[in-house]
Structure 1
């Protein structure tokens, strides 16, 4: 049987032939690609010729191209449209990939060639980009254990393999809990809910073949339910199920996985000569040290907590006025906050949402990219991995730049959250390769024939992920290893969070926030009220985020806790976590930290980047034009096109002329005047 994953793809722009790819194709394709990559890497290490940048570093960059192409498709599909077979393949591939990575990093001949080049680097006449790739290559090998010998090397291999398995299990357990739970809503349970929530609940109920509308643990459905349902008993039931993801006992419980993961990460760091996993992880980030991270978070924590506690007093009084005794609880906050927002800002989300249509917000994100960077987006009628997926050809001045793929709607087969990935990354070493970039979201899918409506938070999420996509699409480097978002973790969120600011530009909303039924633009007074309320409830949002970041840091900056749940409780007590606010991501469903190493000891990165994004957008405000052509060109040249070819601090300083302080962040969140 011909395996399309192992063939050249004669498709528009080299897109994967999704209509030909079957799940049974992945395993044999991966095995063959692994064998081929092993043979290439072995040949590099055993090359009798003296090492050169071309026959060692560039050869290594090219050795895994086919493997990367296959996994780009597989992990793109497995995360967004899983099924039992794909979950089985994820469990099968995790240890195989880990073993392959260990083989590469433990290849002494290969590392010796790289190290020799490093020692000779000043005499090699390398470009700045090549010098950077050489440094990152050597550093990566050292951090993966290339200098370890004997038992330490063997043990590190075992640790990395087990960690890869645990990350896969954590993700699949969380998906199972989110997929399996739902709460039927009788007619009485629909009381007080806006039409858009009822429509979503009915649509999901039909998808799950329930007898009527249901609430699920999809954020796009449960959050508006918690905002609008006056039924405190149902809010509590739904919230507690949401908070209990990954902690329900049985085979999908993630608490044991979290404990084992933390212990193995500590061991990994110590095998490599670091005191803690945080010391190891933060060495390559902008922050550099755990103390620098903690300092930033605590600068923000104090004013955020003060603001949240003042808000809690107001909301608790509203609860008591409704005849309930006792304290404000976590399942009450969103409901009473929404009532307060409507009263104080004359702002009702049910009235706002018809003006925030998904299609119009996509158009808005494209229009901003056009005005800033000259990009144009033309729909492509190509088959993808799911019927909901949409595809665009991205061009500039008539030339192809990228393919952009949008997968916007929640479904049971999709893991929660929102993310951006490159199924194919930009590079020039293997030819002029243009990227295939995917944005995945979890917006509520409307009934057939009706427009999809977003909350303002949803619209910000769309702009956020599109900011990541721009970082991938505008990449302009030679080597894939430094392409696009291959940057320091606490820098990668800068382009995404910066792009959110363009959603707040009044002229953008005036053009694209149009009513789903009438087509009329959002009334100016509503637009003004919405923007004025942009920092409403920011104490709550900041507290739930910073608490999660501080717990993540505490997990990794010191001995691994035997009981992560106890450690979580201790940290929250120490910082004085307000009673009615929970961590944004409690340990058993903290996928950023436990589904892989990406944000482990690095969840703070969003706030580190926000310090920069607030300061970076201020540059546009200072010139009085959010679409200033000169600044946009400078942003592209310094940040968006450079990938990891230059140190992150240097990139930011090249754009702004200096590094930022925390003041712009506090002002942007409306916390600069908090006590």
Structure 2
């Protein structure tokens, strides 16, 4: 078999061009077999259990399986099709079973426990202590102490959950792809910028249709909502966007949501926790649901008055401008943009010519070079899963290899929405070899058209910097063990490296490195930079309220017993009560397409974005004090945080960098919700 299957031959970079869908299942089955043998070697050994022969051996077992599954599931997110989706449904329960076979293996747990119980007498460094703790908890928190019948129950729950969450994601992608707004009358395009019209015409052409096609992918949807003068068409788009998975048809996600929430609760109870949030938060910086609630509540108290003022101002503005009596959700982006233009004389269309994608990529590379001494060279000899993907070799000042970097920027039918960072190969040290990581970012940006290159909105610029911040966390990893490397950190700490890098997008010193007009090469004028900075806190109260509403919705599903909930929409409306500004849209439901919590890893963790914002605002205040390109501060951030992964508790790492605990006021100051120092 291995003759024909590239996944079973040794490979350094993922062999995308040789891969066929039929390669995955046999490769995964073979890799599971080999991982089982490695586990058996640990359990059958007659040597006394020790850190090296038990904990370390367990950590490095199954590495082939990890690589093959990371390639498979990354493709299922970035370049999927019906065959891959069908296979994912087959493979997920098999992997879930295998994972449970390890966690519920009594002899393996016995050996891990022997080592864990003598940890005080072992001469372990900090990273080894963390690994031991993590391996022990992997068993104790996931059912190793359960009776046989309860272990069986847990297996069933895990299998169902993996299948339901895949199904949830498939439905969201199918819903996103199936809606099209096809316009043939040019009058209906009033207000839309030329770049958007041109992209919509290209899309129509590619489908052999006349006119213009707009869809629910962000580069089409967001600017349409921001600029389309036709209110009815905005309404149509907004309702389609907000109703994903909420049509009572074959793509409906209401049952999936209810089942996922109930099964998660059941799992938490089985493991001895009151709710799923209690189970998850035990391994987070926030620690308990009560702490998360009071954190969200504290921000709500600060943000709500500002949000209500901003909303009133927006209502009055829309009424004065167009006689709008009742501001609806499909008016939000449109009138916010108009008001922003009026207050700051600034709009995205003015900025986009200065943010050609190639220049922004080069900008984020330059910022990373100035901070961390990294060099990026585009290479063309690395296998790719799609022709649009770009590949780069990353080296340091001494020309040592740091990482391989993949970047995939544009929407496609086989790619889920949003933006994310992932990895195809982890960083680890074995013997005297430091295996460097293969890191990827995937985005959905405005595509180039026949008339112009890919010109990014400012929001897309900050998204690119955000995902690149995650990528740096992966690239600069310098740990021994793969499960503690890079972004393998507490979930409410993982957004610090990404969110902090966004700050450079607002700084003149950074913008002048890459924001150049794509036609003339002229640098971005200083007055535009000033306007970007001035407008940074525009409607920050409403933006904060919106993020808090998502965090509260997430907690509402996971910090209670959801068995009494039978109506997703009613439950959601209750959760949104404290943060509600706009009238409810009956046809819409957020939970049914809330992929972060029902498909991604943010269940009981969406608050993390705001939590990490406190850390990033506090971190950037430190950079500002020292200079945003101060190498000493950057080195300290790299050595204390970026390179350390999950080797120590995040607060320990943070205090080592900052010299103190984070100050929540830093976030409120940056958001303009309290006075600056």
Distance across 1 between alignment mates of 2:403 and 2:205: 37
Q: What are the residue-to-residue correspondences of 1:402-551 with 2, within 5 Å? A: 402-429=403-430, 431-448=433-450, 450-551=452-553
Q: For residue 608 of structure 1, what is the aligned residue in structure 2?
A: 611
CA distance in 1, matches of 2:58, 2:599: 28
Q: How does 1:151-300 map to 2 (within 5 A)?
A: 151-186=149-184, 187-300=186-299
Distance 1:617 1:319 in 2: 36
Q: Is the 8 A contact 1:203 1:446 kept in 2?
A: no
Q: Is the 8 A contact 2:506 2:529 kept in 1?
A: no
For residues 608 and 668 of structure 1, what CA distance do their matches in structure 2 show?
14
How far apart in 1 are the matches of 2:585 and 2:439? 34
Residue 361 of structure 1 deviates from its aligned partner by 0.9
Query: Among residues 619, 623, 648, which one is paired with 2:622 in the alignment?
Result: 619
Q: Structure 1 CA distance, aligned partners of 2:652 and 2:501? A: 20
Query: 2:68 corresponds to which residue?
Result: 70
Match of 2:570 among 566, 571, 574: 566
The CA deviation at 1:530 is 1.5
Helix, strand or coil for the counterpart of 2:444?
strand
Q: Which runs of 4+ in 1 moved over 6 A?
A: 581-585
Look up the match of 1:368: 367
Superposition deviation, residue 576 in structure 1: 4.6
Partner-residue secondary structure (3-state), 1:404: strand
Q: Is the 8 A contact 1:540 1:581 kept in 2?
A: no
How many Å separate the matches in 1 of 2:144 and 2:520?
64
2:590 alignment partner, one of 581, 586, 592: 586
The equivalent of 2:36 in structure 1 is 38
SS of the counterpart of 1:184?
strand
Of the structure 1 ranges 330-339 and 45-54, higher mean CA displacement relative to structure 2 is found in: 45-54
Q: C-alpha distance in 2, partners of 1:581/1:352?
A: 33
> Residues 562 and 50 of structure 1: is their aligned pair in 2 closer, same or farther, counting only changes over 3 Å?
farther
Task: Say which SS state the counterpart of residue 537 (structure 2) adopts.
Answer: coil
Q: TM-score, normalised by structure 1?
A: 0.96
Shift of 1:673: 5.7
Q: Which residue of 2 aligns with 1:88?
A: 86
The answer to whether the Cα contact below 8 Å between 1:196 and 1:350 also exists between their aligned partners in 2 is no
Structure 1, residues 83-113: CA drift from partner, whole Å, max 9, x if none?
1111111111111111111101000000000
- Quick check: 1:282–1:288 contact (8 Å CA) kept in 2? yes
* Deviates further, 38-47 or 387-396: 38-47
Q: Separation in 2 of the partners of 1:541 and 1:215?
A: 25
For 2:103 and 2:207, the matched residues in 1 are separated by 46
Q: Secondary structure at the match of 1:540?
A: helix
Q: CA deviation at 1:217?
A: 0.6
Pair 1:116–1:330, CA change in 2 (3 A):
same
Shift of 1:580: 5.3
> How many Å apart are 1:40 and its aligned residue?
1.5
Q: Secondary structure at the match of 2:409?
A: strand
Contact kept, 8 Å, 1:105 with 1:141, in 2: the verdict is yes
Tell me whether 1:330 sits opposite 2:351 in the alignment.
Answer: no
Q: Which runs of 5+ in 1 are unaligned?
A: none
Q: Output one character per residue of 1:232-252: Cα deviation in whole Å (capped at 9) or x when no partner.
A: 000000011001111122111
Deviations 1:541-565 (A, max 9, x none): 2121110101111111111133332
2:264 & 2:540 partners in 1: Cα distance? 33
CA contact (8 A) 1:438 1:469 kept: yes
Q: What does the per-residue CA deviation read over 1:5-41, in whole Å, with 9 as the maximum and x for residues that have no partner?
A: 00012xxxx2112111111111111111111111211
Count of paired positions: 667
Secondary structure (helix, strand or coil) at the match of 2:422 reads strand
Partner of 1:4: 6
Per-residue deviation, 1:209: 4.0
1:106-138 residue CA offsets vs partner (Å, 9 max, x unmatched):
000000000000011122222221111001100
Contact 1:286 1:490 in 2 (8 A): yes
Q: Deviations over 1:213-245 (max 9, x none)?
A: 211111121111111010000000001100111
Query: In the aligned structure 2, how far is the partner of 1:578 from the partner of 1:672?
Result: 22
**Is the Cα–Cα contact under 8 Å of residues 203 and 445 in structure 1 kept in the other structure?**
no
Q: CA deviation at 1:325?
A: 4.6
Alpha carbons 2:363, 2:514 under 8 Å: kept: yes
Aligned-partner Cα distance in 2 for 1:209–1:606: 42
304-313 or 292-301, which deviates more: 304-313
Per the TM alignment, residue 324 of structure 1 is displaced from its structure 2 partner at its CA by 4.1
1:342 corresponds to 2:355: no
User: Does the 8 A contact of 1:247 with 1:253 survive in 2?
Assistant: yes
After superposition, the C-alpha distances for 1:311-360 in whole angstroms (9 at most, x for unaligned) are 22222223323444531000001101111111110002111111111111
Match of 2:156, SS state, is helix
Q: What secondary structure is seen at the aligned counterpart in 2 of 1:653?
A: helix
Other structure's SS at 1:388 match: coil
> Offset of 1:516 from its aligned partner?
1.4
Tell whether 2:595 aligns with 1:595. Answer: no
Please give the residue correspondences for 1:99-178 in structure 2 after superposition, counting only pairs within 5 Å.
99-178=97-176
Counterpart Cα distance in 2 of 1:407 and 1:576:
35
> TM-score, normalised on structure 2?
0.96
Segment of structure 1 superposing worse, 248-257 or 489-498 = 248-257
Name the residue aligned to 1:644: 646
Query: 1: CA distance between counterparts of 2:14 and 2:275?
Result: 42
What SS does structure 1 have at the residue aligned with 2:460? helix
Residues of 1 paired with 2:92 and 2:122: CA distance? 38
Cα distance in structure 2, aligned partners of 1:157 and 1:243? 34
Mapped contact 1:183–1:215 kept (Cα < 8 A): yes
Provide the secondary structure at the position in 2 that maps to 1:437.
strand
Instruction: Find the aligned partners of 1:203 and 1:659 in 2 and give their Cα distance.
Output: 52
Separation (CA, whole Å) in 2 of partners of 1:31 and 1:505: 51
Please identify, of 490-499 and 579-588, the stretch whose mean Cα deviation from structure 2 is larger: 579-588
